[in-house]
Amino acid sequence: MGTFAFKMPDIGEGVVEGEVVEWMVAVGDIVKEDDPILSVMTDKATVEIPSPVDGKVTRVVGEAGDTLPVGVVCIEFEVEGDGNAASSSDAPTPAPEPKAESKPAPEPKAESKPAPVPEPKAEAVTAAPAVQRAAGTKALSSPAVRQRARQANIDLNLVAGSGPAGRISHADLDAHIAGGASGASRARPMGSSARTELNGTEEIKVIGLRRKIAEGMVASYTTIPHFSYFEEVDVTVLEELRQHLNATRPEGAPKLTYLPFIMMALVKALGEQPECNAVYDDESNVVTRHQAINLGIATQTDRGLFVPVVQHVEAMDIWQSAEEMTRVTSATRDGKATAEDLSGSTFTITSLGRLGGLGATPIINKPEVGILGVHNAKDRAVVIDGNIVIRRMMNLSSSWDHRVVDGHNGATLVQLVKSYLEHPATIFM
């Protein structure tokens, strides 16, 4: 038997370190090559790292929330044959090693214990108490765990998770299956439950994507002087066109929602208001206006908020924009979006979908200078030429960086979008 030391891989795209989101294995586990072992959060995406070998886990480095540099040993396996034991004793590359030693959490633990000793730590991890999620809260898990649950016909909302914020690991799913629990929920007989007083608390470590979101929101809101602008749009004619296009769409074409029309309207409006299709480097005080229109689509997932990007919308027709928007948002929800899918936006659309609402003050996706919020369309009574009529209305909310975009410019762009949506034929002229 030998030891195989696996180093944090180079994920590419200039990534030099990654934050441990979840270890999917523990010391003592037997894994097969390509089994998922570690979920890592980089500046651009969450990446699942597969096992490079068949073997038994003898050592893991770092806990959820720790940052590991590329090139540092993160896990060791006991394998058949000689392994690559020399790799673990080789001096790491000059760049990552100082970072690894400067982190008190992951590296000292790894070097202060020889491979066989971490067994007690593994037992402590596996014995961690399951976290009960609040009612209505969606279960957190990796894509691999969700896939296993689907294959086993198990409802993850019924599985207790022992990870951060109740995140469900493979071990949690195994324990659920071993306990004989079924995937179906059981209705509680009426009157059978007694009310109990709840006095407990729960501390949730802010790590991974949740930490990235928090940092991004703080940076945006504290450094950008926001101003917001609201408008309502009559989309009655647009709804008729949408229904017609969906009924006559080409074979294989996606069904059109309102968003592709809004994307097309933005292409026209941003062409007329180029100062709104820009990014602002507040360190060098340089505003870069883009000719390309790359629209970020804020997308809620069970892992948090992501902004996948539809690149070069200005070069697409409405069917192409709808298809690409569906691709990047679906890949994001499934945890399969690439770093390219999640970067390079010049303007962002955020939609509250069926949640609707009358208005909102969306936070700008820094370093962009504007964001457009879309609310759901509904039939309302409005006054036209002195008569009360029923029209299909949609509210728009926008926020702007007042250092770069004056109130007149931001309002003008929204009014242009309104005009195109209320006279949808002009979108295609």
CA–CA distance, 75 with 9 (Å, rounded to integer): 11
Strand segments (E) across 353-413: 370-374, 378-384, 387-401
Choice among 379, 406, 408, 423 that is catalytic: 406
Catalytic residue at 375? no
Three-state DSSP at 76 gives: strand
Gap between the Cα atoms of 345 and 270, Å rounded: 14
Strand partners, 297: 349
**Whole-number Å distance between alpha carbons of 272 and 266:** 10
| Strands of the sheet with 46-50, listed across from one edge | 46-50, 36-41, 17-23, 67-69
Both tokens of 234, joined, read 């009559």
What values do phi and psi take at 366, rounded to 5?
-55, 140
Contact 308, 341 (CB under 8 A): yes
d(CA 147, CA 372): 34
Neighbours of 132 (CB within 10 A): 12
Q: Is 375 helix (H, G, I), strand (E, B) or coil?
A: coil
8 Å CB contact between 333 and 301: yes
Q: Alpha carbon 206 to chain centroid distance?
A: 15
- Number of alpha helices (DSSP H) and beta strands (DSSP E) in the chain: 11, 19
State how far the Cα of 382 lies from the Cα of 373, in Å rounded to an integer.
22
Query: Is 408 among the catalytic positions?
Result: no
Which H helix or E strand runs over 144?
Answer: helix 143-151
Catalytic option among 226, 290, 312, 402: 402
Element (H, E) at 77: strand 73-79
Assigned token pair, 349: 């659309």
Question: How many Cα atoms are found within 13 Å in the side-chain-facing hemisphere of 309?
Answer: 19
Q: Which residues are catalytic?
A: 402, 406
